[in-house]
């Protein structure tokens, strides 16, 4: 698969540059090995898995020798020798010999009825054996072993899986996901024997069972060894090329011999041998560029990811899956729905993900893993699962649909438009999307359906953020995460803003995102010619004679022209000269909020009717916790009693005191509509925690200037509840809030930038 992909890339770059000859040990032109699992499971036929027919080779002027093995590379004379005694000179030689199943070196392993699972012939043999036999044993519960086991079961066999570890697919899954998968497969009828070591295979000529180290045995007429693969390096070894586990290559996929290259499962790059097609295709691309003389960064390694191809079971993982000293993790578990999701983080970056039961977000996670974006965006993705019905509308054109072949949504759209494609097969033929593991086939189908629906809008429809730039809002966030910018001016300068100083829309947005990404970033003070507004903080809406007298003196001393009472029961001093601001703040002796262009939570409205001291105290407490934080948009919070005043129900966030505790509402709009009842809490403490968690989740996931009700409509109240009701996630949000606050509180009072971490 890797070798021919590399040839395809070479043909794309320069059709005339090489006369190409290909040798393959197997008697077929290249085929999609990945789909052998689907063939066994009855979902695909062997006729459908050829990747390039013999006609394709002929049409591209390639000489193909099938069933012919290269046995020696004479690197001194630059020629190869095959098992049919053919000798051929070369200028460049590519080794893409793949791997072979590891057949355990145990007595009986050579008996009839013992197979690996790698080739069309293996697959045909398993299908034919299944017709006449009943009991099968699969040794190894990795990805391949499980797919083979389900395939044999599909063919009517009674299948046992023997595995040396305590958990199945332990390389790709943690214990929880592994147990969930085992339970699902047991429900499908597989039997597992874990922590068992196979020591021999019994039978005369034909295998009839296996012996286990603990003295037990199992009956089986068909045995599949799925205990890993070994890179095919013999050719390299016999030709004097440096090897380790695989054939050692540099970033250009060059071996120790200058004109000999290696790609695919036989190659070892930086100590890693990859066993999935996506990295191998990347290697092919790099090598093609290198030997065609196209400038290229070189192969930089790949993040491993894996999906199990078993109908009805959705499991996907990428990167690290086991915790260690350097990682932190977040997980969600919904037992009823059979969903488990875990993300591992390392130094504020995503290090790995496991998705079980719902793998719809895999593309975005993989994207975060590959681009190593900042944790806040990663969290956003973890917490806000994509809504399937609207996903294509909001999905950027650059998002990858087919991970194996790196085909983006934009590439599919373009192919559909320019070549008038209507079916998945046509898209596959044209773009290769869904042409490898087939995991994205449903997504391609959905995209085609969406494109033919009335809802579809032309590609490149994502508007730029404002007239000052061609970047979209998401592009800007991604750039801010990538580079350590310190000021909006620097952002505008380096990202090629069309205007010198930005505009009213982009400048505050950049400031906001800089502060969200780097809580140490301080917003600039207002320009000298502006007048300022100051709202003295009165926690819980309470004040006293001394404070009021002092404020009155200040109003007179500094000739403050405009004093009013705000909606949330505070005094607002407007028209202050910027030069007076520091002195006034000093004279006030209580905190005060001044920057109108920076959205912070300034005050919480507390009900003043009746004897509601406790409500005011609670409001004061929440204010003290949240008052310096930047918010995506202005936010109103209110606490009220149930008796005379239910104002809290029409705020962005509100809590109404009831005999049983507190009813928390979100997404209300003053004078227009009440918010939705979000939850009921029983104590003041749990109310504070819930409101703080809500606010932090809003801060982490809302766009700039997105009001709470708009945010709620976009991400969905169910999703917000799922996050806030999950204790681990709520604690995580509260910890993030604490960190953000501590970074802000540590700041010196001057304009500048302080990077988090």
The residues that touch ligand FAD, with contacts defined as CB under 6 A, are: 1-3, 23-26, 33-34, 36-37, 69-70, 96-98, 117-118, 144, 232, 235, 264-265, 275-278, 280, 309, 404, 437
Report, in Å, the least distance between residue 444 CB and ligand FAD. Answer: 16
Report, in Å, the least distance between residue 2 CB and ligand FAD. Answer: 3
The rounded distance, in Å, linking the Cα atoms of 604 and 687 is 14
Residue closer to ligand FAD (CB basis): 26 or 474: 26
Residue closer to ligand FAD (CB basis): 40 or 137: 40
Distance from the Cα of residue 45 to its chain's centroid: 32
**For residues 351 and 370, is the Cβ–Cβ distance under 8 A?**
no
Collapsed DSSP state (helix, strand, coil) of residue 38: helix
Distant-in-sequence, close-in-space partners of 372: CB < 8 Å, separation ≥ 6: 349, 350
Report, in Å, the least distance between residue 476 CB and ligand FAD. Answer: 34
Report, in Å, the least distance between residue 283 CB and ligand FAD. Answer: 9
Retrieve residue 174's tokens: 């943690």
The rounded distance, in Å, linking the Cα atoms of 353 and 378 is 11
Report, in Å, the least distance between residue 641 CB and ligand FAD. Answer: 60
Report, in Å, the least distance between residue 13 CB and ligand FAD. Answer: 19
The rounded distance, in Å, linking the Cα atoms of 119 and 219 is 25
Report, in Å, the least distance between residue 207 CB and ligand FAD. Answer: 21
- DSSP assignment string, 682-701: SSHHHHHHHHHHHHHHHHHH
The rounded distance, in Å, linking the Cα atoms of 228 and 192 is 18
Report, in Å, the least distance between residue 147 CB and ligand FAD. Answer: 6
The rounded distance, in Å, linking the Cα atoms of 379 and 697 is 10
Report, in Å, the least distance between residue 271 CB and ligand FAD. Answer: 17
**For residues 3 and 265, is the Cβ–Cβ distance under 8 A?**
no
Report, in Å, the least distance between residue 144 CB and ligand FAD. Answer: 5
Residue keyed to tokens 């947005």: 509
Distance from the Cα of residue 229 to its chain's centroid: 28
The rounded distance, in Å, linking the Cα atoms of 93 and 254 is 10
- The radius of gyration computed from the CA coordinates of the chain, to the nearest angstrom, equals 32
The rounded distance, in Å, linking the Cα atoms of 168 and 178 is 6
The rounded distance, in Å, linking the Cα atoms of 171 and 200 is 25
Q: Are strands 661-666 and 676-681 parallel, antiparallel or unpaired?
A: antiparallel
The rounded distance, in Å, linking the Cα atoms of 520 and 745 is 9
Residue closer to ligand FAD (CB basis): 69 or 472: 69
Sign of the alpha-carbon dihedral angle for 696, 697, 703, 709:
negative
Residue closer to ligand FAD (CB basis): 246 or 540: 246
Report, in Å, the least distance between residue 187 CB and ligand FAD. Answer: 22
Report, in Å, the least distance between residue 213 CB and ligand FAD. Answer: 27
Report, in Å, the least distance between residue 431 CB and ligand FAD. Answer: 18
| Crossing angle (nearest 10°) for helices 424-431 and 409-419 | 110
Collapsed DSSP state (helix, strand, coil) of residue 727: helix
The rounded distance, in Å, linking the Cα atoms of 435 and 29 is 16
What are the b/e assignments for 172-193, b being 16+ CB within 10 Å? bbbeebbebbbebbeeeebebb
Q: Are strands 79-82 and 87-89 parallel, antiparallel or unpaired?
A: antiparallel
Distant-in-sequence, close-in-space partners of 504: CB < 8 Å, separation ≥ 6: none
169: left (phi over 0), alpha (psi -120 to 50) or beta: left
**For residues 275 and 228, is the Cβ–Cβ distance under 8 A?**
no
Report, in Å, the least distance between residue 20 CB and ligand FAD. Answer: 14
Residue closer to ligand FAD (CB basis): 81 or 194: 81
* Among candidate residues 242, 288, 243, 284, the one with its CA nearest the CA of residue 263: 284
Report, in Å, the least distance between residue 439 CB and ligand FAD. Answer: 7
Residue closer to ligand FAD (CB basis): 225 or 507: 225
Residue keyed to tokens 């910018």: 485
Residue closer to ligand FAD (CB basis): 264 or 519: 264
Distant-in-sequence, close-in-space partners of 570: CB < 8 Å, separation ≥ 6: 535, 536, 537, 538, 541, 602, 603
Residue keyed to tokens 């192919």: 415
Report, in Å, the least distance between residue 319 CB and ligand FAD. Answer: 15
Retrieve residue 8's tokens: 């395809």
The rounded distance, in Å, linking the Cα atoms of 123 and 115 is 9
> Burial of 324 by CB count in 10 Å (0-12 exposed, 13-18 middle, 19+ buried)?
exposed
Report, in Å, the least distance between residue 260 CB and ligand FAD. Answer: 13
Report, in Å, the least distance between residue 726 CB and ligand FAD. Answer: 31
Residue keyed to tokens 């893993």: 369
> Burial of 129 by CB count in 10 Å (0-12 exposed, 13-18 middle, 19+ buried)?
buried
Retrieve residue 555's tokens: 């109003």
The rounded distance, in Å, linking the Cα atoms of 41 and 39 is 5
> Burial of 539 by CB count in 10 Å (0-12 exposed, 13-18 middle, 19+ buried)?
buried
């Amino acid at each position: 698969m890797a070798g021919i992909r590399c040839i395809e890339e070479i043909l794309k770059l320069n059709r005339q540059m090489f006369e190409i000859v290909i040798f393959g040990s197997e008697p077929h032109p290249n085929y999609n090995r990945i789909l052998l699992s689907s063939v066994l499971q009855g979902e695909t036929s062997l006729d459908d898995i050829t990747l390039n027919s013999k006609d394709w080779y002929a049409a591209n002027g390639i000489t193909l020798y099938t069933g012919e093995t290269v046995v020696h590379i004479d690197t001194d004379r630059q020629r190869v020798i095959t098992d049919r005694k053919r000798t051929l000179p070369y200028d460049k030689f590519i080794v893409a010999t793949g791997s072979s199943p590891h057949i355990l070196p145990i007595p009986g392993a050579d008996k009839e009825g013992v197979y690996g699972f790698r080739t069309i012939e293996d697959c045909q043999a398993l299908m034919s054996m299944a017709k006449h036999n009943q009991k099968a044993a699969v040794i190894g519960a990795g990805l391949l072993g499980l797919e083979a086991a389900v395939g044999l079961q599909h063919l009517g066999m009674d299948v046992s899986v023997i595995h040396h570890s305590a958990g199945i697919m332990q390389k790709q899954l943690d214990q929880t996901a592994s147990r969930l998968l085992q339970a699902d497969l047991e429900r499908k009828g597989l039997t597992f024997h874990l922590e068992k070591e196979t020591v021999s295979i019994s039978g005369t000529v034909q295998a009839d069972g296996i012996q286990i180290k603990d003295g037990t045995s199992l009956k089986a007429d068909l045995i599949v060894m799925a205990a890993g693969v070994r890179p095919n390096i013999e050719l390299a070894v016999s030709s004097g090329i440096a090897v380790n586990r695989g054939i050692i290559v540099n970033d250009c996929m060059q071996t120790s011999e200058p004109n000999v290259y290696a790609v695919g499962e036989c190659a070892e790059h930086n100590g890693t041998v990859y066993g999935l097609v996506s990295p191998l295709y990347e290697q092919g691309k790099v090598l093609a560029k290198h030997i065609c003389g196209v400038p290229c960064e070189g192969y930089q390694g790949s993040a491993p990811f894996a999906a199990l191809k078993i109908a009805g079971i959705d499991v996907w993982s990428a990167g690290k899956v086991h915790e260690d000293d350097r990682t932190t993790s977040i997980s969600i578990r919904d037992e009823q729905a059979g969903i488990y999701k875990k993300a591992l983080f390392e130094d504020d970056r995503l290090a790995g993900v496991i998705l079980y039961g719902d793998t719809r977000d895999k593309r975005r996670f993989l994207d975060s893993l590959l681009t190593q974006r900042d944790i806040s965006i990663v969290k956003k993705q973890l917490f806000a699962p994509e809504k399937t019905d609207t996903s294509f509308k909001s999905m950027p054109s650059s998002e990858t649909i087919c991970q194996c072949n790196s085909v983006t949504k934009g590439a599919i759209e373009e192919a559909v438009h320019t070549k008038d494609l209507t079916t998945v097969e046509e898209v596959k033929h044209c773009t290769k999307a869904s042409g490898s593991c087939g995991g994205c086939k449903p997504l391609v189908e959905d995209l085609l359906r969406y494109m033919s629906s009335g809802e579809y809008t032309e590609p490149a429809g994502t508007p730029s953020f404002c007239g000052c730039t061609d970047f979209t809002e998401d592009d800007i966030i991604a750039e801010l995460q990538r580079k350590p910018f310190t000021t909006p001016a620097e952002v505008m300068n380096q990202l090629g803003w069309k205007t010198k100083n930005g505009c009213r829309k982009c400048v505050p947005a950049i400031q906001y995102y800089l502060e969200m990404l780097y809580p140490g970033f301080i917003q600039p003070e207002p320009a000298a010619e502006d007048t300022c507004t100051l709202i003295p903080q009165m926690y819980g809406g309470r004040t006293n004679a001394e404070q009021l007298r002092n404020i009155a003196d200040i109003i007179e001393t500094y000739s403050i022209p405009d004093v009013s009472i705000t909606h949330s029961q505070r005094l607002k001093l407007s028209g202050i000269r910027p030069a007076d601001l520091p002195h006034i703040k000093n004279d006030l002796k209580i905190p005060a909020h001044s920057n109108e262009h920076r959205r912070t939570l300034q005050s919480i409205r507390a009900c003043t009717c009746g004897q509601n001291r406790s409500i005011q105290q609670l409001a004061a407490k929440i204010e003290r916790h949240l008052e310096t934080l930047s918010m995506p948009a202005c936010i109103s919070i209110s606490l009220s009693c149930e008796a005379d005043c239910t104002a809290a129900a029409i705020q962005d966030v509100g809590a109404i005191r009831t005999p049983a505790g507190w009813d928390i509402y979100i997404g209300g709009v003053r004078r227009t509509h009440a918010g939705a009842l979000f939850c009921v809490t029983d104590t003041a403490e749990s109310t504070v925690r819930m409101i703080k968690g809500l606010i932090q989740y809003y801060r982490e996931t809302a766009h700039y200037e997105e009001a709470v009700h708009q945010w709620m409509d976009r991400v969905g109240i169910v999703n917000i509840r799922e996050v806030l009701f999950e204790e681990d996630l709520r604690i995580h949000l509260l910890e993030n809030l604490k960190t953000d606050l501590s970074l802000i509180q540590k700041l010196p009072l001057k304009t500048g930038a302080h990077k988090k971490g």
